Amino acid sequence: MKLPVSLLCAAAAAALSFSAHAQSAKPDLAKGAALYGQMCVACHAADGNSTTPINPSLAQQHPEYLIKQLQEFKSGKRNNAIMKGFAAALSDDDMRDISFWLADQKAKTGFAQEKELVRLGERIYRGGIADRQIAACAGCHSPNGAGIPSQYPRLSGQHAEYTASQLNAFRSGERNNNAQMTGVAAKMNDREIKAVSDYIAGLR
């Protein structure tokens, strides 16, 4: 069924209006801190530096990336029953306020722990795997793991367990909200995922 042009234009205008609002509205960091303390602190720690390896550290993450993930948890595009419940209770403004507050928190550094794998992890992160056409992680996430704001998330210091769990989820199709990462992870084996995840934990 074809929608009238007027309806399509109205939908496009609404999307553009929301986008403009999201970019121009000033985040309320005090409200973000309060909401974070009510809803997020138990899993991600008081300052966003998670102490539980399977829960991601969120401090100093690019706010645009965090907003996108919260929106996709809410919509179901990124499937996680726990996060869907929390995200469902947040408005777009709430998501913006929490995300910008987290971006303002200082991330703590981490350490690589797998000595026998760290060189493999470094080779993959910095140079990719040429014979399988896997691009270097550094190309998108930067050599020091800082990422590229608005496009690619910060990885520096992220728990190796969490990074590995997400790469495995991309590989299996359990997480399917980024086609680029699905394509990368699909070509990696368990040892490579473990190695690059551990190397990322020590980036700074």
Residues 6+ apart with CB under 8 A from 97: 27, 28, 29, 31, 32, 35
Please determine whether the domains at 24-103 and 118-201 fall in the same fold group of CATH.
Answer: yes
d(CA 119, CA 111): 14
Q: In the predicted model, what is the mean pLDDT of residues 138-161?
A: 96
- Per CATH, which fold does 118-201 belong to? Cytochrome Bc1 Complex; Chain D, domain 2 (1.10.760)
Class of domain 24-103: mainly alpha
pTM of the model: 0.87
Where does the pLDDT of residue 81 fall: very low under 50, low under 70, confident under 90, or very high at 90 and above?
very high
State the pLDDT at residue 2: 41
Query: Residue 44: which of 111, 108, 89 has the closest Cα?
Result: 108
Token pair listed for 18 = 């929301």
Query: Domain boundaries in the chain?
Result: 24-103, 118-201
pLDDT band for 12, please (50, 70, 90 cuts): very low
47-59 pLDDT, tens digit each = 999 999 999 999 9
- Calculate ∠ Cα 66-71-4, nearest 5°: 140
Cβ atoms of residues 178 and 170 within 8 Å: yes
